[in-house]
Amino acid sequence: MNSSRYSFPAVLLHWLMAGLVLYMLWLGVSMVDLPKGPERTAAYGLHKSFGLLLLGLFFVRFGWRIRHTPPALSGRGWERKVAHGTHHALYLFLLLTPLAGYLASSFSTYPLKFFGLAVLKAGWPDESIQEIFKRIHVLSAWAGMLLVGLHIAGALKNLLRRDGSMQRMLPACGVQKMNTCSDAEQ
Ligand code: HEM
Ligand code: HEM
């Protein structure tokens, strides 16, 4: 079992972003089928606002991550390689998906707002450029679903094997029941 854990900000950002990402994937898939009207407009507005929040949180998390070495991954050689690769791909997904969404919205005719506040667009109304970023956004979101599925399956497998990786990604007080509260914070 590994004796080090993720720092509290890393744990907080992980679970906050995980919850938001799962919500955003569900919201994104359900909103595109809504008929035109106030419900669709509200769903799109909420999706864009939480998406922009996730884009901001990505930079906070990435900034923290490059300054703090995470605990060593557990498992056999190939398992560590898969987990390592998945984590990198998840970070790429956390950047590319909201960035492409922002750029797609930047080249659309609709105004872009963050919970009611106007946001500066990076482009001008242009349907063909908007379509390119929309495609990247949708492709990246669906690839992200596969990655998140793979990641959760790996996390649950490790949890069943009781290898300590889940405890590392929980706040120290939340692990008391799992008997590893004495692990040192990294
Ligand atoms: C849904 C979106 C999620 C995303 C985008 C995500 C992303 C990530 C990333 C990028 C890491 C690597 C952290 C680092 O090294 O800086 C990580 C670690 C981890 N995640 Fe997630 N995660 C998600 C959901 C979940 C869920 C639902 C679980 C639990 C079932 C989970 C359990 C873990 C665990 C246990 C680790 C630590 C792995 C280790 O150190 O061995 N994650 N996650
Ligand atoms: C991590 C953050 C995000 C996730 C996980 C996400 C996920 C999704 C998903 C799953 C869809 C539906 C794809 C489909 O057609 O099946 C979608 C659509 C969409 N998203 Fe996001 N999104 C995120 C951020 C953003 C941001 C920041 C914006 C804009 C500011 C945005 C704008 C849109 C728009 C306009 C659509 C509709 C595309 C269409 O009409 O085909 N998204 N998103």
- CATH code at position 149: 1.20.950
- pLDDT digits over 104-120, tens only? 999 999 999 999 999 99
Q: Which ligand is nearest to the CA of 150?
A: 1
The answer to whether residue 138 sits within a structural domain is yes
Tell me the per-residue pLDDT of 3-34, one tens digit each, with 9 for 90 and over.
488 999 999 999 999 999 999 999 999 999 99
93 part of a folded domain: yes
The tokens 């938001």 sit on which residue?
20
How many structural domains does the chain have? 1
Q: How confident is the model at residue 1 (pLDDT cuts 50, 70, 90)?
A: very low
Across the range 137-161, mean pLDDT stands at: 96
Cα of 121 vs centre of ligand 1, distance in Å, is 31
In a domain? residue 176: yes
SS3 53: helix
Residue 8 lies in a domain: yes
pLDDT score for 57: 98
Q: What range defines the domain where residue 147 resides?
A: 4-181
123, part of any domain: yes
Go through 97-119 and write b for each residue having 16 or more CB atoms within 10 A of its CB, e for each that does not. Answer: bbbbbbbbbbbbeeebeeeeeeb
Q: Verify whether ligand 2 is closer than 6 Å to residue 137 (CB atom).
A: yes
Who has greater pLDDT, 81 or 182?
81
Give pTM, 2 decimals. Answer: 0.93
Sequence-distant (≥ 6) Cβ neighbours of residue 104 within 8 angstroms: 130, 133, 134, 136, 137
Is 139 part of a structural domain of the chain? yes
- pLDDT grade for 186, boundaries at 50, 70 and 90: very low
In a domain, 186, yes or no: no
**Probe target for ligand 2 pocket from 113, 127, 138, with the most ligand atoms within 8 Å of CB:** 138
Contact 70, 6 (CB under 8 A): yes
What the block records as the tokens of 153 is 């399956």
Distance CA 130, CA 40 (A): 19
Any long-range contacts for 169-177 (C-beta under 8 Å, 24+ apart)?
Answer: 169/5, 169/6, 169/11, 169/14, 169/15, 170/5, 170/11, 171/8, 171/11, 171/12, 172/5, 172/8, 175/5
Does the residue 127 lie in any domain? yes
- Please state, for a pLDDT cut of 90, what percent of the chain lies above it: 81
- Tell the residue nearest (CA) to atom 34 of ligand 2: 101
